[in-house]
Protein backbone atom coordinates (compact mmCIF):
# COMPACT_ATOMS: atom_id res chain seq x y z
CA UNK A 1 0.00 0.00 0.00
CA UNK A 2 1.41 3.39 -0.93
CA UNK A 3 1.54 6.15 1.57
CA UNK A 4 0.26 9.54 0.45
CA UNK A 5 1.57 12.13 2.91
CA UNK A 6 -0.19 15.50 2.95
CA UNK A 7 2.02 18.06 1.24
CA UNK A 8 3.35 20.56 3.77
CA UNK A 9 3.55 24.17 2.60
CA UNK A 10 7.16 25.26 2.06
CA UNK A 11 8.10 28.27 4.20
CA UNK A 12 10.76 30.94 3.87
CA UNK A 13 11.79 32.54 7.15
CA UNK A 14 13.85 35.72 7.39
CA UNK A 15 15.40 36.31 10.81
CA UNK A 16 16.92 33.72 13.14
CA UNK A 17 17.05 35.50 16.46
CA UNK A 18 15.61 33.84 19.56
CA UNK A 19 12.08 33.96 18.17
CA UNK A 20 12.93 33.20 14.54
CA UNK A 21 14.94 30.14 15.54
CA UNK A 22 12.04 28.83 17.63
CA UNK A 23 9.64 29.33 14.70
CA UNK A 24 12.08 27.57 12.37
CA UNK A 25 12.35 24.54 14.65
CA UNK A 26 8.57 24.24 14.92
CA UNK A 27 8.11 24.17 11.14
CA UNK A 28 10.99 21.74 10.67
CA UNK A 29 9.62 19.44 13.35
CA UNK A 30 6.23 19.45 11.60
CA UNK A 31 7.85 18.48 8.30
CA UNK A 32 7.54 21.78 6.42
CA UNK A 33 10.28 22.38 3.85
CA UNK A 34 12.03 25.46 5.25
CA UNK A 35 14.36 28.01 3.68
CA UNK A 36 16.02 30.38 6.14
CA UNK A 37 18.16 33.48 5.94
CA UNK A 38 19.81 35.50 8.68
CA UNK A 39 22.07 38.57 8.49
CA UNK A 40 24.65 36.78 10.64
CA UNK A 41 25.00 33.45 8.80
CA UNK A 42 26.42 31.54 11.79
CA UNK A 43 22.97 31.52 13.42
CA UNK A 44 21.68 29.33 10.59
CA UNK A 45 24.26 26.55 11.01
CA UNK A 46 22.38 24.49 13.61
CA UNK A 47 19.16 24.73 11.59
CA UNK A 48 20.95 23.54 8.45
CA UNK A 49 21.97 20.44 10.37
CA UNK A 50 18.30 19.98 11.31
CA UNK A 51 17.18 20.07 7.68
CA UNK A 52 16.65 23.73 6.79
CA UNK A 53 17.87 25.05 3.46
CA UNK A 54 20.07 28.08 4.13
CA UNK A 55 19.83 30.83 1.52
CA UNK A 56 22.88 33.02 0.83
CA UNK A 57 20.83 36.19 0.60
CA UNK A 58 17.41 37.48 1.60
CA UNK A 59 16.59 37.80 -2.11
CA UNK A 60 17.38 34.12 -2.66
CA UNK A 61 15.27 33.14 0.34
CA UNK A 62 12.28 35.21 -0.84
CA UNK A 63 12.57 33.72 -4.33
CA UNK A 64 12.50 30.18 -2.91
CA UNK A 65 8.90 30.07 -1.65
CA UNK A 66 5.61 31.91 -1.98
CA UNK A 67 5.07 32.06 1.79
CA UNK A 68 7.65 34.43 3.29
CA UNK A 69 7.60 34.86 7.08
CA UNK A 70 9.60 37.75 8.51
CA UNK A 71 10.71 37.86 12.15
CA UNK A 72 13.32 40.58 12.54
CA UNK A 73 14.16 43.03 15.28
CA UNK A 74 11.97 45.96 14.24
CA UNK A 75 10.23 47.60 11.30
CA UNK A 76 13.40 49.38 10.16
CA UNK A 77 15.22 46.05 9.81
CA UNK A 78 12.25 44.64 7.86
CA UNK A 79 12.51 47.56 5.42
CA UNK A 80 16.26 47.07 5.09
CA UNK A 81 16.04 43.33 4.48
CA UNK A 82 13.04 43.26 2.11
CA UNK A 83 14.17 46.21 0.00
CA UNK A 84 16.65 44.07 -1.91
CA UNK A 85 14.13 41.32 -2.67
CA UNK A 86 11.49 40.74 -5.33
CA UNK A 87 8.17 40.57 -3.47
CA UNK A 88 5.97 40.17 -6.55
CA UNK A 89 3.34 37.47 -5.92
CA UNK A 90 4.73 36.63 -2.46
CA UNK A 91 2.59 36.00 0.63
CA UNK A 92 4.40 38.12 3.21
CA UNK A 93 3.62 37.38 6.88
CA UNK A 94 5.41 39.88 9.09
CA UNK A 95 5.74 38.71 12.70
CA UNK A 96 8.11 41.53 13.65
CA UNK A 97 6.82 43.63 16.55
CA UNK A 98 5.90 47.18 15.58
CA UNK A 99 3.27 49.86 15.98
CA UNK A 100 -0.12 49.76 14.23
CA UNK A 101 0.95 52.64 11.97
CA UNK A 102 4.14 50.81 11.02
CA UNK A 103 2.10 47.70 10.16
CA UNK A 104 -0.32 49.69 7.99
CA UNK A 105 2.53 51.44 6.19
CA UNK A 106 4.40 48.15 5.73
CA UNK A 107 1.23 46.54 4.29
CA UNK A 108 0.83 49.36 1.75
CA UNK A 109 4.57 49.15 0.97
CA UNK A 110 4.35 45.38 0.36
CA UNK A 111 1.19 45.73 -1.75
CA UNK A 112 2.95 48.34 -3.91
CA UNK A 113 5.60 45.70 -4.60
CA UNK A 114 3.04 43.12 -5.71
CA UNK A 115 2.90 41.12 -2.47
CA UNK A 116 -0.04 40.05 -0.31
CA UNK A 117 0.41 40.98 3.34
CA UNK A 118 -0.51 39.74 6.77
CA UNK A 119 0.81 41.26 9.97
CA UNK A 120 1.33 39.35 13.20
CA UNK A 121 1.82 40.08 16.88
CA UNK A 122 3.38 37.21 18.81
CA UNK A 123 1.85 36.59 22.24
CA UNK A 124 4.50 34.12 23.36
CA UNK A 125 8.14 33.85 24.30
CA UNK A 126 10.41 31.51 22.31
CA UNK A 127 10.02 28.67 24.83
CA UNK A 128 6.25 28.60 24.16
CA UNK A 129 6.68 28.20 20.38
CA UNK A 130 5.87 24.69 19.16
CA UNK A 131 4.43 23.82 22.58
CA UNK A 132 0.63 24.04 22.14
CA UNK A 133 -0.08 23.42 25.82
CA UNK A 134 1.94 26.55 26.72
CA UNK A 135 -0.95 28.64 25.40
CA UNK A 136 1.07 31.01 23.21
CA UNK A 137 -0.61 32.42 20.13
CA UNK A 138 -0.18 35.02 17.41
CA UNK A 139 -2.59 37.82 16.52
CA UNK A 140 -2.99 38.20 12.75
CA UNK A 141 -4.50 41.05 10.77
CA UNK A 142 -4.55 42.06 7.13
CA UNK A 143 -5.68 40.04 4.12
CA UNK A 144 -8.37 37.56 5.24
CA UNK A 145 -7.73 35.39 2.16
CA UNK A 146 -4.05 35.14 3.04
CA UNK A 147 -4.88 34.17 6.60
CA UNK A 148 -7.27 31.42 5.43
CA UNK A 149 -4.78 30.13 2.87
CA UNK A 150 -1.97 29.73 5.41
CA UNK A 151 -3.97 29.20 8.58
CA UNK A 152 -2.77 25.58 9.04
CA UNK A 153 0.88 26.38 8.38
CA UNK A 154 0.78 29.47 10.61
CA UNK A 155 -0.85 27.38 13.34
CA UNK A 156 2.18 25.08 13.60
CA UNK A 157 4.38 27.27 15.86
CA UNK A 158 1.53 28.70 17.96
CA UNK A 159 -2.21 29.29 17.98
CA UNK A 160 -3.70 31.81 15.56
CA UNK A 161 -6.17 34.60 16.33
CA UNK A 162 -7.32 36.72 13.38
CA UNK A 163 -8.45 40.19 14.47
CA UNK A 164 -9.42 41.94 11.24
CA UNK A 165 -8.60 43.25 7.81
CA UNK A 166 -6.91 46.40 9.11
CA UNK A 167 -3.22 45.44 9.02
CA UNK A 168 -2.61 47.52 12.15
CA UNK A 169 -4.99 45.55 14.36
CA UNK A 170 -2.62 42.68 15.23
CA UNK A 171 -0.02 45.15 16.52
CA UNK A 172 -2.73 47.12 18.32
CA UNK A 173 -4.08 44.02 20.09
CA UNK A 174 -0.55 42.92 20.93
CA UNK A 175 0.43 46.27 22.45
CA UNK A 176 -2.92 46.68 24.23
CA UNK A 177 -2.55 43.33 25.99
CA UNK A 178 1.09 43.95 26.86
CA UNK A 179 0.20 47.41 28.18
CA UNK A 180 -2.34 45.82 30.51
CA UNK A 181 0.37 43.37 31.56
CA UNK A 182 2.67 46.25 32.51
CA UNK A 183 -0.11 47.75 34.60
CA UNK A 184 -0.41 44.42 36.38
CA UNK A 185 3.36 44.20 36.90
CA UNK A 186 3.33 47.75 38.25
CA UNK A 187 0.66 46.81 40.78
CA UNK A 188 2.58 43.70 41.77
CA UNK A 189 5.78 45.75 42.23
CA UNK A 190 3.94 48.12 44.57
CA UNK A 191 2.48 45.18 46.53
CA UNK A 192 5.90 43.54 46.96
CA UNK A 193 7.38 46.89 48.00
CA UNK A 194 4.74 47.23 50.74
CA UNK A 195 5.77 43.95 52.37
CA UNK A 196 9.46 44.16 51.47
CA UNK A 197 10.87 45.27 54.82
CA UNK A 198 8.59 43.09 56.95
CA UNK A 199 8.97 39.55 58.13
CA UNK A 200 6.83 38.36 55.23
CA UNK A 201 8.28 35.75 52.91
CA UNK A 202 7.83 36.97 49.32
CA UNK A 203 7.54 33.34 48.23
CA UNK A 204 4.56 32.85 50.57
CA UNK A 205 3.10 36.21 49.52
CA UNK A 206 3.32 35.54 45.76
CA UNK A 207 0.53 32.94 45.48
CA UNK A 208 -1.82 35.22 47.44
CA UNK A 209 -1.02 38.02 45.02
CA UNK A 210 -1.34 35.85 41.90
CA UNK A 211 -4.68 34.38 43.02
CA UNK A 212 -6.04 37.86 43.78
CA UNK A 213 -5.04 39.17 40.34
CA UNK A 214 -6.71 36.18 38.69
CA UNK A 215 -9.87 36.73 40.78
CA UNK A 216 -10.02 40.40 39.77
CA UNK A 217 -9.22 39.92 36.07
CA UNK A 218 -12.83 39.14 34.99
CA UNK A 219 -13.73 42.73 35.94
CA UNK A 220 -12.63 43.63 32.40
CA UNK A 221 -15.84 42.01 31.10
CA UNK A 222 -17.97 44.50 33.01
CA UNK A 223 -15.80 47.35 31.73
CA UNK A 224 -16.41 46.07 28.21
CA UNK A 225 -20.18 45.85 28.77
CA UNK A 226 -20.21 49.40 30.12
CA UNK A 227 -18.20 50.71 27.17
CA UNK A 228 -20.56 49.00 24.74
CA UNK A 229 -23.80 50.28 26.34
CA UNK A 230 -22.47 53.67 27.43
CA UNK A 231 -24.07 53.15 30.86
CA UNK A 232 -21.26 52.91 33.40
CA UNK A 233 -23.58 52.47 36.40
CA UNK A 234 -25.02 49.00 35.63
CA UNK A 235 -24.31 46.31 38.27
CA UNK A 236 -21.70 48.42 40.02
CA UNK A 237 -20.49 46.64 43.17
CA UNK A 238 -17.85 49.16 44.22
CA UNK A 239 -18.91 52.72 43.29
CA UNK A 240 -16.17 55.17 42.39
CA UNK A 241 -17.15 57.50 45.27
CA UNK A 242 -16.49 54.68 47.76
CA UNK A 243 -13.25 53.71 46.04
CA UNK A 244 -11.92 57.28 46.01
CA UNK A 245 -12.81 57.60 49.70
CA UNK A 246 -10.55 54.62 50.29
CA UNK A 247 -7.51 55.95 48.45
CA UNK A 248 -6.03 57.82 51.48
CA UNK A 249 -5.70 54.44 53.21
CA UNK A 250 -3.59 53.17 50.31
CA UNK A 251 -1.43 56.30 50.26
CA UNK A 252 -1.02 56.36 54.06
CA UNK A 253 -0.08 52.68 54.08
CA UNK A 254 2.54 53.35 51.42
CA UNK A 255 3.90 56.24 53.53
CA UNK A 256 3.92 54.07 56.69
CA UNK A 257 5.83 51.35 54.85
CA UNK A 258 8.29 53.83 53.30
CA UNK A 259 7.08 53.04 49.80
CA UNK A 260 6.87 55.56 46.96
CA UNK A 261 3.30 56.04 45.70
CA UNK A 262 4.57 56.91 42.21
CA UNK A 263 2.95 53.90 40.54
CA UNK A 264 -0.43 54.27 42.28
CA UNK A 265 -0.81 58.05 42.32
CA UNK A 266 -1.49 58.63 38.59
CA UNK A 267 -4.35 56.12 38.64
CA UNK A 268 -5.81 57.62 41.80
CA UNK A 269 -5.61 61.08 40.21
CA UNK A 270 -7.71 59.85 37.28
CA UNK A 271 -10.25 58.29 39.66
CA UNK A 272 -10.57 61.63 41.50
CA UNK A 273 -11.01 63.52 38.23
CA UNK A 274 -13.83 61.24 37.15
CA UNK A 275 -15.49 61.59 40.55
CA UNK A 276 -15.24 65.39 40.28
CA UNK A 277 -16.96 65.16 36.89
CA UNK A 278 -19.94 63.41 38.53
CA UNK A 279 -19.03 59.74 38.08
CA UNK A 280 -19.51 58.72 41.71
CA UNK A 281 -22.08 55.99 40.94
CA UNK A 282 -19.93 54.42 38.24
CA UNK A 283 -17.18 51.88 38.73
CA UNK A 284 -13.79 52.54 37.10
CA UNK A 285 -14.85 52.50 33.42
CA UNK A 286 -14.84 56.30 33.17
CA UNK A 287 -11.06 56.32 33.45
CA UNK A 288 -10.96 54.91 29.91
CA UNK A 289 -12.63 58.05 28.58
CA UNK A 290 -10.24 60.29 30.48
CA UNK A 291 -7.31 58.58 28.76
CA UNK A 292 -8.71 58.91 25.24
CA UNK A 293 -7.59 62.33 24.10
P1 LIG B 1 16.60 38.88 18.52
O2 LIG B 1 17.19 40.16 19.03
O3 LIG B 1 17.00 37.59 19.15
O4 LIG B 1 16.90 38.76 16.95
C5 LIG B 1 16.79 39.87 16.10
C6 LIG B 1 16.86 39.38 14.67
O7 LIG B 1 16.77 40.51 13.80
C8 LIG B 1 18.16 38.66 14.33
O9 LIG B 1 17.89 37.69 13.34
C10 LIG B 1 18.98 39.82 13.76
O11 LIG B 1 20.01 39.38 12.90
C12 LIG B 1 17.92 40.53 12.97
N13 LIG B 1 18.25 41.91 12.66
C14 LIG B 1 18.31 42.97 13.50
N15 LIG B 1 18.61 44.09 12.84
C16 LIG B 1 18.77 43.73 11.54
C17 LIG B 1 19.08 44.44 10.36
N18 LIG B 1 19.29 45.76 10.38
N19 LIG B 1 19.17 43.75 9.20
C20 LIG B 1 18.95 42.42 9.17
N21 LIG B 1 18.64 41.68 10.25
C22 LIG B 1 18.54 42.35 11.42
O23 LIG B 1 15.03 39.09 18.56
P24 LIG B 1 13.89 37.94 18.60
O25 LIG B 1 14.17 36.91 17.58
O26 LIG B 1 13.65 37.53 19.99
O27 LIG B 1 12.64 38.81 18.17
C28 LIG B 1 12.27 38.97 16.82
C29 LIG B 1 10.93 39.69 16.79
O30 LIG B 1 9.99 38.91 17.52
C31 LIG B 1 10.99 41.08 17.44
O32 LIG B 1 10.21 41.99 16.72
C33 LIG B 1 10.40 40.82 18.82
O34 LIG B 1 9.77 41.96 19.36
C35 LIG B 1 9.37 39.72 18.49
N36 LIG B 1 9.00 38.98 19.69
C37 LIG B 1 9.97 38.41 20.46
C38 LIG B 1 9.63 37.80 21.65
C39 LIG B 1 10.69 37.20 22.52
O40 LIG B 1 10.37 36.90 23.68
N41 LIG B 1 11.89 36.99 22.05
C42 LIG B 1 8.23 37.75 22.11
C43 LIG B 1 7.28 38.32 21.19
C44 LIG B 1 7.68 38.93 20.04
P45 LIG B 1 21.48 39.07 13.47
O46 LIG B 1 21.44 37.66 13.97
O47 LIG B 1 22.34 39.25 12.27
O48 LIG B 1 21.76 40.09 14.55
Alpha-carbon Rg for the chain in angstroms? 24
Closest by alpha carbon to 159, among 109, 124, 125, 195? 124
Q: Which atom of ligand 1 is nearest to the CA of 125?
A: 40
* Ligand 1 center to 146 CA (angstroms): 24
Nearest CA to ligand 1 atom 34: 97
Q: Are strands 91-94 and 159-162 parallel, antiparallel or unpaired?
A: unpaired
pLDDT for residue 4 is more than 80: no
Q: Are strands 67-70 and 91-94 parallel, antiparallel or unpaired?
A: parallel
Nearest CA to ligand 1 atom 33: 97
Cα 105-62-56 angle, rounded to 5 deg: 125
**68-109 pLDDT, tens per residue?**
999 999 999 999 999 999 999 999 999 999 999 999 999 999
Which domains does the chain possess? 11-166 (3.40.50.720), 173-291 (1.10.1040.10)
Q: Which atom of ligand 1 is nearest to the CA of 97?
A: 32
The pTM of the full predicted model, rounded to 2 decimals, is 0.94
Residue 5: the pLDDT is: 56
* Ligand 1 center to 15 CA (angstroms): 7
Share of the chain above pLDDT 90, in %: 97
Closest by alpha carbon to 110, among 142, 156, 136? 142
Nearest CA to ligand 1 atom 1: 17
Quick one: average pLDDT of 227-256? 97
Residue 269: the pLDDT is: 98
pLDDT for residue 40 is more than 90: yes
Q: Which atom of ligand 1 is nearest to the CA of 19?
A: 25
Amino acid sequence: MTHNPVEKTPVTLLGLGGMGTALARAWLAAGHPLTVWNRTPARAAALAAEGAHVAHSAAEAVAANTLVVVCLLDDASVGEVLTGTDLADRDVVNLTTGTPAQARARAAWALDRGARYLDGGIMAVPGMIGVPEAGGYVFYSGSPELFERHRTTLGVPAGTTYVGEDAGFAALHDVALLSAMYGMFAGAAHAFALVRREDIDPVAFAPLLADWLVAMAPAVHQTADHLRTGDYTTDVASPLAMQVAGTPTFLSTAAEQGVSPELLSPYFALMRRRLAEGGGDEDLTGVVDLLVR
